[in-house]
Amino acid sequence: MKQKRYVVAIDQGTTSCRAIVFDPQGAIVSTAQKEFTQFFPKSGWVEHDAEEIWQVQLEVLHEAVKLLDLEEIAAIGITNQRETTVVWDKQTGKPLHPAIVWQCRRTSAMCEELKQQGWEPIIRSKTGLVLDAYFSGTKLKWLLDNNPDIRAKAEQGEALFGTIDSWLIWKLTEGRQHVTDASNASRTMLLNIHSVQWDDDILRELNIPKAMLPEVKSSSEVYGYTELLGTTAGVRIPIAGAAGDQQAALFGQGCFTEGMAKNTYGTGCFVLKQTGEKPVMSEKGLITTIAWSLNGKVYYALEGSVFNAGTVVQWLRDGLGIVGTAAETEVIAKSVEHTEGVYFVPAFTGLGTPYWEPDARGMITGLTRASTRAHIVRAALESIAFQSYEVLQVMEEESGIHLRELRVDGGAVKNEFLMQFQADLLGVAVTRPRVIETTALGAAFLAGLAVGLWNDLSELEQLKGYDRSFRPAKDEAYRKQAVSAWQRAVAYQLG
């Protein structure tokens, strides 16, 4: 019997599939990543092909483990873009509809109607969420309402629903386990976050058959086993942990104590603050979510969501074509001292915290004949920091506690201009960990805990390490002026 010493994290993000192998010290052993197709069928709509996600995920998984002895893999952990809604056929294992992505706004009118009928406070108190098209509940209702065949199958338990974690676990496991973890379930708008059970009143109102929902499990336990990784006879690897990507990042950053917070800069930006075993309800547009469920206890978090962050960089590259790579934006932004009054509000799919405006759309203001590509690129990067600033402000106002340091992770934290600008805007240090793949690390931690590779949280705390701290270099007057100019630009957009 070989020593079990690796944990493989599957990180299924909005734009790419990743598989990362970690050793017992939390260091990366190997990694593989591949982008997959984004579909934008109408204004404000975003779809993925769940079958493509599965195939690409499997490919990168094989790639990441190809040099390992499979017998040394202790477990697989899964983390994923949240809310994205997949419905598949129980018999054929094929998706019955394109996956409706978390960014998709197709159900904003449906949410408006539900608000008019008085559902907003009910949703808020039961699920901790804002009644918004962002979450899976109305996406699933839309899918069933618009596809009578799928509804008929769903009622017979032949069509299954899941967020991406469920879909991948179902595809990976022997015996096809149809499960989700509590953190992912808390993003559906169908879960009562107090009882951690699917909520019958909400299911009835949205006309969603319970038979199609996965079983809700903890974030760290063996959900099933896979033989899909290789041909070595008898190598069954446990799938032993799962969490939504933002909650996994909170875990991977070691925010195990109440009050600790992080910001992840990926497709969107998500600030999460751990609030312990009691859900804290926000008055100011933050949402209350399950952080993780571990060892029989449920931990909660307050969250502020920015829908478009890294997407603005992708749009500069793929939509506008004014940069060749995401990395190039750093050099271009630094080539000018400031934006000369150009502001970019990247509300491509509406605005999240604190505005919750599904119909807002992107806008660039303050253009003159002197404006150049560099000013637009710089304004685009600054917009990521401005949006994060606003979320953190709300969090501070709500808790009355002044932030002393911001822990960051996600693909865009490689951008040192962005990190420095964020520190300047906040007036506090922005700290980047040694392993910026914190999301994957969190999933690996959850899976490794379940199989005994690590014993407890204090052991995980020893594994943390920091790469760089960005110190603020601007004064209060600068911050005030910059933020008020940004807020004027947002006000134009909101009309």
Ligand X SMILES: O=P(O)(O)OC[C@H](O)CO
Ligand Y SMILES: Nc1ncnc2c1ncn2[C@@H]1O[C@H](COP(=O)(O)OP(=O)(O)O)[C@@H](O)[C@H]1O
| Chain contacts with ligand X (rule: CB under 6 A) | 13-14, 81-83, 102, 244-246, 266-268
Dig out the tokens for 445 from the structure: 């931690």
**Chosen from ligand Y, ligand X, none, partner binding at 311 (C-beta under 5 to 8 Å by type):** ligand Y
Minimum CB distance to ligand Y smaller for 275 or for 415: 415
Minimum CB distance to ligand Y smaller for 10 or for 123: 10
Distance of CA 118 to the CA centre of its chain: 29
**Chosen from ligand X, ligand Y, none, partner binding at 373 (C-beta under 5 to 8 Å by type):** none
Minimum CB distance to ligand X smaller for 342 or for 446: 446
Minimum CB distance to ligand Y smaller for 252 or for 310: 310
**Cβ at position 246, least distance to ligand X in Å:** 5
**Cβ at position 417, least distance to ligand Y in Å:** 8
**Chosen from ligand Y, ligand X, none, partner binding at 246 (C-beta under 5 to 8 Å by type):** ligand X
**Chosen from ligand X, ligand Y, none, partner binding at 102 (C-beta under 5 to 8 Å by type):** ligand X
**Chosen from ligand X, ligand Y, none, partner binding at 313 (C-beta under 5 to 8 Å by type):** ligand Y
- Binding site membership for ADP: which residues? 14, 18, 267, 310, 411, 415
Dig out the tokens for 35 from the structure: 């982008």
Q: Residue 425 is which amino acid?
A: L
Task: List contacts with ligand Y (CB under 6 A).
Answer: 13-16, 266-267, 310-311, 313-314, 326-327, 329-330, 410-412, 414-415
- Binding site membership for sn-glycerol 3-phosphate: which residues? 14, 82-83, 134, 245
- Binding site membership: which residues? 14-16, 18, 82-83, 134, 245-246, 267, 310, 314, 411, 415
Minimum CB distance to ligand Y smaller for 327 or for 494: 327
Minimum CB distance to ligand Y smaller for 131 or for 164: 164
**Cβ at position 15, least distance to ligand X in Å:** 7
**Cβ at position 310, least distance to ligand X in Å:** 7
**Cβ at position 120, least distance to ligand Y in Å:** 28
**Chosen from ligand Y, ligand X, none, partner binding at 364 (C-beta under 5 to 8 Å by type):** none
How many angstroms separate the CA atoms of 180 and 414, rounded? Answer: 31
